[in-house]
């Protein structure tokens, strides 16, 4: 859930935040917020609280610098700082077809 969705604002840049979360989930096989939500009875409320505190999911360790940078670009709290999808298509992590590491 992108930070701006708490104010009922949705758009293409909200999807960029979701893309960053999806990449984390694909890399780890678990919720992008991982164990930071353990013990929470209301996951939706827990996510809202973390986003309101300007938290974001942790980037998994052991991934390439290019992958880390890609995720960081997607998870900018300020919607205006997030790139458009067309910009992400030119990101080094996407353009590099010969990934030796994730």
pLDDT tens digits, one per residue of 11-52? 888 899 999 999 999 999 988 876 555 566 666 777 777 777
Does residue 102 fall inside a structural domain?
Answer: no
Tell me how many domains the chain contains.
1
How much is the pLDDT for 27? 93
Does residue 22 fall inside a structural domain?
Answer: yes
Other C-beta atoms within 10 Å of 19: how many?
A: 18
Does residue 101 fall inside a structural domain?
Answer: no
Other C-beta atoms within 10 Å of 67: how many?
A: 23
Give the three-state DSSP class for 86: helix
Residue 87 has pLDDT above 90, yes or no: yes
- What is the C-alpha to C-alpha distance for residues 52 and 56, in angstroms, rounded to an integer? 10
Other C-beta atoms within 10 Å of 24: how many?
A: 24
Tell me the pTM: 0.80
Does residue 45 fall inside a structural domain?
Answer: yes
């Amino acid at each position: 859930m992108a930070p701006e969705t708490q104010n009922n604002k949705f758009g293409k840049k909200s999807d960029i935040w979701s893309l960053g979360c999806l990449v984390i989930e694909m890399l780890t096989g678990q919720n992008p917020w991982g164990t930071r939500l353990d013990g929470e009875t209301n996951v939706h409320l827990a996510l809202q609280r973390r986003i309101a505190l300007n938290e974001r999911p942790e980037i998994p360790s052991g991934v390439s610098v290019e992958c880390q940078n890609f995720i960081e670009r997607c998870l900018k709290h300020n919607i205006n700082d997030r790139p458009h999808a067309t910009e992400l298509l030119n990101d080094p992590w996407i353009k590099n077809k010969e990934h030796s590491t994730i």
